[in-house]
Amino acid sequence: MWKRVLRWLPAATMMTLIFIASGTPGEEVPTFGMLDILVKKGGHMAGYAMLAAACFLGAYGGGGKLRRPTALSLGLAVAYAASDECHQLFTPGRSPAVTDVAIDAVGALAGVALVNFALRRRFRRGRGGEASA
């Protein structure tokens, strides 16, 4: 049982870090000059790629089946992105944006795709059983 709980620790850590960052008041959020949008939206994508990958690893128990953990991790990451935007309603100087949820979803998809690619490659090399969609 503890193994199952510990598999979710990276996802819980990412959720905590995202929550803390999202709770930063608008006037305390750093600006990056001409690269501001790129850095901030890239940060959204990277954060949610890591969250979705962590959720995937939490949901994946081995055995090669990838569809269920893929769907679960994407769903959790996108749901968390939506809740994070709602959280910003209560943060001074911040406001929710549907476009941020879309950007987060793209990042989540990239994270899960990367984990799927790595696992499929590992399975093809004969280390760990059969991977199936």
Res. 130: pLDDT tops 70: no
Tokens, residue 42 = 């890239």
Output the pLDDT for position 128.
Answer: 53
All structural domains of the chain with their residue ranges = 2-124
d(CA 109, CA 43): 15
Q: What is the pTM of this model?
A: 0.89
d(CA 31, CA 132): 44
Give how far Cα 81 sits from Cα of 10, 45, 77, 84, 93, Å.
17, 11, 6, 5, 19
pLDDT in tens, 35-48: 999 999 999 999 99
Instruction: Report the percentage of the chain scoring pLDDT > 90.
Output: 81
Output the pLDDT for position 121.
Answer: 85
- Pairwise pLDDT comparison (34 vs 122), residue with the higher score: 34
Res. 28: pLDDT tops 90: yes
> What's at 79, amino acid-wise?
A
> What's at 84, amino acid-wise?
D
